[in-house]
Structure 1
Amino acid sequence: MKQKKPASKRTADEAVTAVSPPAPAEVSNAPGAAEQQTDLAPVVGSNLRRLRTRRGLSLERLAQLSGVSRAMLGQIELGQSAPTINVLWKIARALEVTFSALISARTQSGALVLRSSESKILTSKDRSFSSRALFPFDEPRRVEFYELRLAPGSIEDADAHPPGTSENLVVTAGAIEIDVAGDTHRLEAGDSILFEADTPHAYRNSGRVESVMYLVMTYAEEIG
């Protein structure tokens, strides 16, 4: 049954922590997490500076467009701070680029195995929500694949993604409620959903166990 729910937005500029894949109902730190964060911060900073200057935007103008403070943007560009998932999305939308355009570092071509122990995971500020990219950070992509985890009793609000972006999500453990376009859709393990993600939406875990989801995100066109 569908229920009318208002969508909400998170506005705080937050710092990100790279962590290992979390155990049920928690997000834990793993050996090497500090090194993973150190690796990701300069990549994001370099990409942000390149994309911003390519569009002829000052830090002040990008701050106005994204809602992220100039000070935070400056720290990110210098590699001194890596943003949370929500802040990355704000920046990506303002620059009109894909999420992966900000986190990708070009590498040599060929087969690439992504070891779970070496995963770079972005989390929310309180670590109740985590997103692990299941694709290499080698170049911007039109299609992205993620593992998402949401702790019991938690809500993750997402701003609208670039126009034409869609999300195809399947729940593999626990249950989840997704608020999108004013409606609420409840999914249990094995259920999936496809929706247009260019509008604010939210993920809610009202259960007692961690929710695990796999998400395929598709952009209208390859940008970045």
Structure 2
Amino acid sequence: MGDPEDRGAGVGQRLQAARQDAGLSLSEVARRAGVGKGSLSELERGLRPARLETLWALSTALGVPLGRLVGDDPEPARGAAVHARLIDRWRSDALFELYRGTVGRRLQRSPAHGPGVVEVLTVLAGRLEAGPEGSPAVAATGGSLTFDGSLPHTYRALETPCEVLIVIRYGPPPQA
């Protein structure tokens, strides 16, 4: 699972490597992600933890999958409501990442990800509301939601704890 160069590296090291691989300055990545340059520098140096929402903004700005920054850390990436840990990655017609997570009752807003990103959330326990801002859908235990991750979207549990599996597909939209 994951890229071999990512194993054993922390989020800050993976973030810095992705930025350098892209040939971008701290200032440019900070501008693209809507993050302060000082905050980005602190993230790269491991002086502050990165919230899940920030990691998504940075991965989108860098044009890399979220898993490149999250890596195989045993601790989940934490957002306002979603806490998720990367379980596996694979390629077929696109790159796929599988996360196991929990969703709390607080509303979490997620900015648009890159073009062609699709999210599939399968509810293992509880009830979840998630999807594009303004038109989220609800799923209960055993149900799934699929939505276009390249649009701003939200997540929140209607019952806690809400346990989910999240599959993220990166690539061109699937052909019908």
TM-score range, shorter chain: 0.7 to 0.9
TM-score, normalising length from structure 2? 0.81
Quote the residue 1:32 is aligned against.
none
Give the aligned CA root-mean-square deviation in angstroms: 2.3
Output one character per residue of 1:150-177: Cα deviation in whole Å (capped at 9) or x when no partner.
22x3212111111101111111111011
Quote the residue 2:135 is aligned against.
183
User: Stretches of 4+ moved more than 6 A in 1?
Assistant: none
Distance apart, 1:181 and its partner CA: 5.6
1:220 equivalenced with 2:171 (yes/no): yes
TM-score, normalising length from structure 1? 0.65
2:124 to 164, 172, 176: 172
- Say if 1:177 and 1:54 are closer, same or farther in 2 by CA, change over 3 A: same
- For the residues of structure 2 that align with 1:213 and 1:57, how far apart are their CA atoms? 34
- For the residues of structure 2 that align with 1:103 and 1:154, how far apart are their CA atoms? 22
- For the residues of structure 2 that align with 1:133 and 1:104, how far apart are their CA atoms? 7
Summarize the alignment of residues 143-182 of structure 1 with structure 2, pairs less than 5 Å apart. Answer: 143-151=96-104, 153-180=105-132, 182=134
CA contact (8 A) 1:120 1:133 kept: no
Question: What is the number of residues matched between the two proteins?
Answer: 162
Quote the residue 1:113 is aligned against.
none
Higher relative contact order (CA 8 A, sep 6+): 1
The structure in which a higher percent of residues are strand is: 2
Unaligned runs of 5+ in 1: 1-38, 106-117
Summarize the alignment of residues 3-152 of structure 1 with structure 2, pairs less than 5 Å apart. Answer: 43-104=10-71, 119-124=74-79, 128-135=81-88, 142-151=95-104
